[in-house]
Amino acid sequence: MAKYLIEVPHGADKASCVLAVKIFLQTGSHFLTHADWGCLDGEHKAWIIADVASKDEANYILPPAFRSSAKITLLTNFTAKDLFEQEIYHQS
């Protein structure tokens, strides 16, 4: 399994916030009901960390209405050994 950060934006108005939270909570999915939200700090996004097999699987966690706007990032933990013994992949 890989670990992914799923970031889901929504509108900044009250109705958009309420609707996004309501949709997440009504799904019953453990991932969605335990999302972290930035709304109270002006960052109108939800974040979920999920251990799943692929980005596609991470995307399918989300309700269909949020899939196209979500950003899904593979998370990697590097050690000091990684830095000295291997070349770490880097996109320019």
Task: Give the model's pLDDT for residue 31.
Answer: 92
Print burial letters for 30-66: b (CB count within 10 Å at least 16), e (below 16): ebbeebebebeeeebbbebebebeeeeebbebbeeeb
Task: Give the model's pLDDT for residue 91.
Answer: 58
* Distance between first and last Cα of the chain: 27
User: Are 74 and 48 contacting, i.e. CB atoms less than 8 angstroms apart?
Assistant: no
Task: Give the model's pLDDT for residue 81.
Answer: 77
Q: What is the full per-residue pLDDT of the chain (92 aa) written as tens digits?
A: 999 999 999 999 999 999 999 999 999 899 999 999 999 999 999 999 999 999 999 999 999 999 999 999 999 988 877 776 666 666 55
Task: Give the model's pLDDT for residue 80.
Answer: 79
Dihedral sign (CA 70, 47, 58, 90): positive
Task: Give the model's pLDDT for residue 86.
Answer: 67
Structure tokens at 13: 């108005």
Task: Give the model's pLDDT for residue 92.
Answer: 55
